[in-house]
Amino acid sequence: MADFALGYAHGRPLVVAGDLNTEPGAPAYAEFTRAGLVDALAGARPLPTSPADDPRAQIDHVLVTPGTAVSGPGAPRSTASDHLPVAVTVHLPPP
């Protein structure tokens, strides 16, 4: 998935976000960082997102291409889903 997304972006800034069903440090997660993506939520870790009523695991992520600045990472409390939402402000590099 990471290789496909990076290929599709053709060198433009890329954001991959969502429920990836993998935790930081797991082999599947490592494939995203091996491909060159950066964890936009790392500054807020530990950041458990699942289950929403008693979060213990971070399986929801935001990954960006290098050079894409981020700020304000977090997982606000919510009962809208079985996972907490993840949020981050993405600052795209100048063209």
CATH number at residue 16: 3.60.10.10
Q: Which structural domain, as residue segments, surrounds residue 18?
A: 2-91
Q: Is the pLDDT of residue 84 over 80?
A: yes
Distance separating alpha carbons of residues 86 and 33, to the nearest angstrom = 19
Average pLDDT over residues 9-24: 92
Model-level pTM?
0.90
Q: What is the pLDDT of residues 56-82, one digit of tens each?
A: 999 999 999 998 999 999 999 998 999
